[in-house]
Amino acid sequence: MNYYSLNHKAPNTTFKNAVIKGIAPDKGLYFPETITALPKSFFDSIDNLSHSEIAFEAIKQFVSPEIPEEILKTIVEETLSFDFPVVKLNKNISTLELFHGPTMAFKDVGARFMARCLGYFNQNNDREVTVLVATSGDTGGAVANGFLGVKGVNVVILYPSGKVSDIQEMQLTTLGQNIKALEVHGTFDDCQDMVKTAFLDEALTSQMQLTSANSINVARWLPQLFYFMFAYKQLHKQHKDIVFSVPSGNFGNICAGMMAQQLGLPIKHFVASNNANNVVTRYLISQLYEPKPSIQTISNAMDVGAPSNFIRIQEIYKNNFDALKSNLTSYSYSDKETKEAMLEMYKNYNYVADPHGAVGYLGCKDYLKEKPNAHCVFLETAHPTKFLDVVEEVVQVKQALPSQIQSVMGKEKESTIISTYDDLKAFLLKK
């Protein structure tokens, strides 16, 4: 499989190069040249397949022939070493829990898959690779955990100071070894801009090999399509019209779901559930795509004012607004509404959700007002204890900490404070 830049000003390249480079020389995101739908028989027999078998069949066209099939099977099995349960709240709404991995966030899958791909590509390479990644919350911890101790790979994580939860910060600042954290005076968008600038800085790239582990990297983004297939397997016998409500920040997750749909997965519709950072909600009303500075909310992983992956979504629909709008609805919610939804789920269903999942739940409720016969699945993208202060304030019940969270509590934080791109550059050149 080859990949092309969505800016169309760079040569096409292989999966290996797309993973190692992260972003194209023309600053465009990489996108696969072809998407070949899986046969209908695959979905007809999905009940007989394990998670690893489903994932292998779904992903192999995007990585072949550069990763041999037997190696790819091992990578997939190691990536998916935890469960992805669907929990039913009522006859019309379920949640897909994506927080059962080592850092209790949906990004564990993409980070673990990418780390293993990069480890395979780098096994005979004497030149070290530096993974440079911006995080609005969960990406940092998932990438840190996924790449911890990987030979020949250094990880540098940029995160906005004071704008991630305490536990999220602990997960990316306490591991040591090959993981370094940079605390940025600014927003997630500032962090992301610094990362993109670094990729295009020849003074850096001539001296070190940089790649990214944000969802801009194809190896981080594409494996997220697995979740949607796992949910379909659990629900398709009971429900015909399955809709996914995805809490959306950088739009990698919902874009991956749309890729699953392109592979033939019978998904009826998508809902992009936004917090106050609602550039896509506004776009679907006005047809004007106008990124704005991000706004801080209690669902911080979605505090993205310029979602990188939306250009991939536009590519899937060939930049046809009507085609996109027929498959995507979007709503936006305030922190107040998010807290009310958290309390409602706890009181009505005895279900404790994190703020991101609560935004997804609200998207389900609004969509079902228009399409009451659908079954809407919202993605619960992180364990509620990662947002302990908000969750306990809302439900007024002390939450037990899972072992994954307990393991980072009390460890010493190690981070370097930076303010500008020049600070980042100086840090990288000093390494």
Contact indicator for 171, 140 with CB cutoff of 8 Å: yes
CATH number of the domain to which 315 belongs: 3.40.50.1100
Q: Does residue 179 lie in a domain region?
A: no
- Listed residue (307, 192, 293, 185) closest to 246, CA to CA: 307
Strands 13-14 and 2-5, by their bridges, are antiparallel
- Listed residue (210, 190, 24) closest to 131, CA to CA: 210
Contact indicator for 416, 182 with CB cutoff of 8 Å: yes
pLDDT one-digit tens code per residue, 101-146:
988 889 899 989 998 998 898 887 777 889 998 887 777 778 888 8
b/e map of 3-20 (b: 16 or more CB within 10 Å)? bbbbeeebeebebbbbbb
Q: Does residue 15 lie in a domain region?
A: no
Q: What's the confidence (pLDDT) of residue 182?
A: 94
Q: Does residue 18 lie in a domain region?
A: no
CA 275/CA 254 separation, integer angstroms: 15
pLDDT one-digit tens code per residue, 152-161:
888 999 999 9
Count CB neighbours of 285 within 10 A: 11
pLDDT one-digit tens code per residue, 63-89:
999 999 999 999 999 999 999 999 999
Q: Does residue 298 lie in a domain region?
A: yes
When the pLDDT of each residue in the chain is averaged and rounded to a whole number, the result is: 92
How many domains is the chain built from?
Answer: 1
- Listed residue (150, 281, 133) closest to 221, CA to CA: 133
Q: Does residue 47 lie in a domain region?
A: no
Q: What's the confidence (pLDDT) of residue 125?
A: 73
Q: HEC states along the chain?
A: CEEEECCCCCCCEEHHHHHHHCCCCCCCCEEECCCCCCCHHHHHCHHHCCHHHHHHHHHHHHHCCCCCHHHHHHHHHHHCCCCCCEEECCCCEEEEECCCCCCCECHHHHHHHHHHHHHHHCCCCCCCEEEEEECCCHHHHHHHHHHCCCCCEEEEEEEECCCCCHHHHHHHHCCCCCEEEEEECCCHHHHHHHHHHHHCCHHHHCCCEEECCCCCCHHHHHHHHHHHHHHHHHHCCCCCCEEEEEECCCCHHHHHHHHHHHCCCCCCEEEEEECCCCHHHHHHHHCCCCCCCCCCCCCHHHCCCCCCCHHHHHHHCCCCHHHHHCCEEEEECCHHHHHHHHHHHHHHHCCCCCHHHHHHHHHHHHHHHHCCCCEEEEEECECHHHHHHHHHHHHCCCCCCCHHHHCCCCCCCCCEEECCHHHHHHHHHHC
Confidence of residue 431 (pLDDT cuts 50, 70, 90): low
- Listed residue (211, 212, 226) closest to 256, CA to CA: 226
- Listed residue (187, 170, 174, 167) closest to 392, CA to CA: 167
Confidence of residue 21 (pLDDT cuts 50, 70, 90): confident
Q: What's the confidence (pLDDT) of residue 245?
A: 98
**What value does the mean pLDDT take over residues 277-287?**
95
**What value does the mean pLDDT take over residues 27-45?**
96
Compare 344 and 115 and report the one with higher pLDDT.
Answer: 344
Q: What's the confidence (pLDDT) of residue 146?
A: 85
pLDDT one-digit tens code per residue, 402-426:
888 787 777 888 899 999 999 999 9
Q: Does residue 247 lie in a domain region?
A: yes
- Residue given tokens 């629909």 in the structure block: 317
Among 98-102, 179-183, 427-431, the range scoring the smallest mean pLDDT is 427-431
Q: HEC states along 344-363?
A: HHHHHHCCCCCHHHHHHHHH
Torsion of CA 147, 149, 154, 160, to 10 degrees: 50
- Which residues sit opposite 97 in a β-bridge? 380
**What value does the mean pLDDT take over residues 323-337?**
97
Q: Does residue 349 lie in a domain region?
A: yes
Among 63-67, 258-262, 303-307, the range scoring the smallest mean pLDDT is 303-307
pTM over 0.95: no
CA 23/CA 164 separation, integer angstroms: 25
Q: What's the confidence (pLDDT) of residue 96?
A: 98
Residue 227 buriedness (CB in 10 A; 0-12 / 13-18 / 19+): buried
Domain region containing 387: 83-106+221-401
Question: Phi, psi (5° rounding) for residue 210?
Answer: -105, 140
Q: What's the confidence (pLDDT) of residue 408?
A: 76
Q: Does residue 393 lie in a domain region?
A: yes
